Structure 1
Amino acid sequence: MKPNYSLDDMRLFWLVAQAGSFRQAAEQEGVPPSTLSRRINALEQTLGLRLLHRDAHRINLTGTGRQYFERFGPLFNELDDISGDLHAEKHEPAGTLRVAVPVNTMYRWLATALNQFQLRYPKIDLDIRMSNWVIDVGEQAIDLAIRVGEPALQGWIARPLTRVQSLLCASSRAVQWHQITHPSELVQYPLVVSSPINVWRFEHQHSEQQFEYRPQGNVRLTVDDMNIAMQAVAAGVGIGYLPRRVVLEHMQQGELMALAPDWLGPLRKTYLLYRDRDNQPLRLRLLIEHLLQVAPAEY
């Protein structure tokens, strides 16, 4: 049988029964006592049952009213708990965030940034999913994702975070490769590929001419970890196309050398991705603000 009474009226009855007073319940709800009395009268008329005995000074539950109060009480207690939890989501820095990030981003700067964040907000827990491949952020219930390159996620907000620029490099000991002046010459040399970057794009720093090279045939190593790729390049396995910030320290130490320095990869933006700009839990908003503040201009 479909109920034809108002659940909100039932909740008002529950408030009055808890308080034992129309006045106290009215103060708690922020409505006049007469409104409460009228609403509960309407509920009793709809049910065809009396729920309260009233006199000039107090109220008492009828047998039916007590039965309803005991049956509905746990429901409204749970609803109050849920409302409290939802309020905390919006206003308290606590709870768990699930974050999807590229592996190299995590190694280069993000791990330190996230450690700082958790030390600042000890009640916020992080569940990190590291992958260089595009994962299904909806299926995995991701709250915040970081992606390199123009994102293609419908319904997600994309905020520019930092930038990445790649270059050709080789081991300083591999002098036989140092004479390369144009990316088209790569067809003659062994290569190390860091997936998922399987197309090497270049821009000439003066003429702005563009060039694309797709490694194939002469690939000695393909690996989905940029640090492993860099180690292989430094060891002399082959020539690599790697982010400038990743190899800069090793170039300064004399382990790596830039090739065809007039040809660099285009600057690619890294984006923060999340679903909702306005109705965010506080923990997500705080993490977004933190990352936008501490992210390096380039990595």
Structure 2
Amino acid sequence: MKINYSLDDMRLFWVVAKQGSFSKAALELSMPISTLSRRIKNLEQSLQLRLLNRDAHRVTLTGSGVQYFQRCGGLLEALQSAGDALFDEKGEASGTINVSAPNNFTQYKLAHIFNAFLREYPKISINLSLSNKNIDLEKEHIDLAFRACDEVPLDWISRPLKQVKSIVCSSPALIEANTISHPKELQKLPVILSNPVRVWELVETTTGEKFSYTPLPPARLEADDLHVVSRAVIEGLGVGFIPYFMASEWIESGKLVRLLPKWSGQPRTVHLLYRDRDNMPHRLRLFIDYLIRASDN
């Protein structure tokens, strides 16, 4: 038999049984006696059991009521204990933070910040989900996310954190055979595409001229990992649009060269996303403040 009633009805019964009086229970619950009596009757009807014997002077438990009181008392105490533990944890620097972040950006820009935070707060743990795809934050129970996007998920708070600028790169051998001076000439070169960036938004740094380049299919290689993309570019399979924070070390070592040095990608802002500004656990507030301070340095 499926029983349909609320835990609140159970709690009301438990208070009445504990007090042995509807009037005392109503006073404790700040509830009219008539409302309390009606709620208990509804509970009995749902259970199809009589739980209380009522007379003009007192309330006593039936045999079924005794069993129900003993069992629901332990359940309500466990629920209260769980609620108290969560409330206490909210104000402590402890517990786990579920984080979603892009793979390569985390490796180059976030990992050392995460590690420093964990060293400073030894009772806090981070459960890190790395993906360059926009995962379902609600379904994955994410507390905090990093995203380079223009659209913010509904009901999430967004805070700009960092700007990422990409540049057009090539292997030295490929560019020696294919010199170009304007982004429109990119169409004649093979392309390595990094998902989810499907359009290369470029701007000429001196004149401000803008150009949107959409690589024609098929790309020689498409991947959602920038290391894979960069390796293909380094090995001369095509040109790529690579974040400067990654490309700079390969340019310095001579593995990559920058195409169109007067052109740069429009900066993409990495946003810090979280749900609730007011009712968040203390550990999450500490983490957000730490990230903002680190991004300002």
TM-score range, shorter chain: 0.7 to 0.9
C-alpha distance in 1 between matches for 2:178 and 2:279: 54
1:174 match: secondary structure:
helix
Q: Is the 8 A contact 2:199 2:215 kept in 1?
A: yes
Q: Structure 1 69/210 Cα, relative in aligned 2: closer, same or farther at 3 Å?
A: same
Aligned residue pairs total: 270
Q: 1:262 to 1:12 in 2, by over 3 A?
A: farther
The CA distance in 2 between the partners of 1:163 and 1:244, in whole Å, is: 11
Match of 1:207 in 2: 207
What is the Cα-based RMSD across aligned positions, in Å? Answer: 3.5
Q: Deviations over 1:126-168 (max 9, x none)?
A: 2222111111112222211110021331111001111100111
1:93 aligns with 2:115: no
Does structure 2 conserve the Cα–Cα contact (< 8 Å) formed by 1:160 and 1:272? Answer: yes
- Equivalent-residue separation in structure 2 for 1:199 and 1:175 (angstroms): 21
The equivalent residue for 2:43 is none
The corresponding residue for 2:139 is 139
Q: CA–CA distance in 2 between the matches of 1:66 and 1:94?
A: 40
Q: Which residue of 2 aligns with 1:73?
A: 73
Deviation at 1:260, TM superposition (A): 0.8
Deviates more, 1:193-202 or 1:76-85: 76-85
Corresponding residue number in structure 2 for 1:118:
118
Is 1:156 the counterpart of 2:156? The answer is yes
Query: CA separation of 1:39/1:257 partners in 2, compared to 1, >3 Å: closer, same or farther?
Result: closer
The corresponding residue for 1:127 is 127
Partner deviation per Cα, 1:111-135 (whole Å, 9 max, x = no partner): 2222222233233232222111111
Q: CA contact under 8 A between 2:200 and 2:212: conserved in structure 1?
A: yes
Cα distance in 1 between the residues matched to 2:177 and 2:131: 32
Specify the alignment match of 1:286 in structure 2.
Answer: 286
Work out the percentage of aligned pairs sharing the same amino acid: 35
Aligned to 2:240: 240
TM-score, normalising length: structure 2: 0.77
Letter in 2 for 1:77: E
Mapped to 1, the partners of 2:121 and 2:151 lie a distance apart of 29
Normalising by structure 1, what TM-score?
0.77
CA deviations on 1:93-124 (whole Å, 9 max, x unpaired) are 22222211111112112222222222332332
Deviations 1:178-236 (A, max 9, x none): 63221111111112111111111101112212111111246222111101211221222
Distance 2:291 2:223 in 1: 28
In structure 2, the CA distance between the partners of 1:232 and 1:75, relative to structure 1 (3 Å rule), is same
Q: How has the CA–CA distance of structure 1 residues 296 and 171 changed in structure 2, closer, same or farther, with 3 Å as cutoff?
A: farther
101-110 vs 266-275, which moves further: 101-110
The answer to whether the Cα contact below 8 Å between 2:14 and 2:69 also exists between their aligned partners in 1 is no
Task: Give the letter for the 1:222 counterpart.
Answer: E
Letter paired with 1:261: P
Structure 1 counterpart SS, 2:259: strand
3-state SS in 2 of match to 1:187: helix
Mapping for residues 155-194 of structure 1, pairs under 5 Å: 155-177=155-177, 179-194=179-194
* Unpaired segments ≥5 residues, structure 2: 38-51
CA distance in 2: counterparts of 1:244 and 1:149, whole angstroms: 18
Q: Aligned partners of 2:106 and 2:5: how far apart in 1? A: 55
Q: Gaps spanning 5+ residues in structure 1: where?
A: 18-34, 53-60
SS in 1 for 2:280: coil
CA 1:156–1:169: 2 relative to 1, 3 Å: same
Separation (CA, whole Å) in 1 of partners of 2:76 and 2:10? 14
In the alignment, the residues of structure 2 paired with residue 66 and residue 9 of structure 1 have an alpha-carbon distance, to the nearest angstrom, of 11
Q: By how many angstroms is 1:12 displaced? A: 8.6
For the residue of structure 2 that corresponds to 1:73, the secondary structure is helix
Give the 3-state SS of the residue equivalent to 2:261 in structure 1: strand
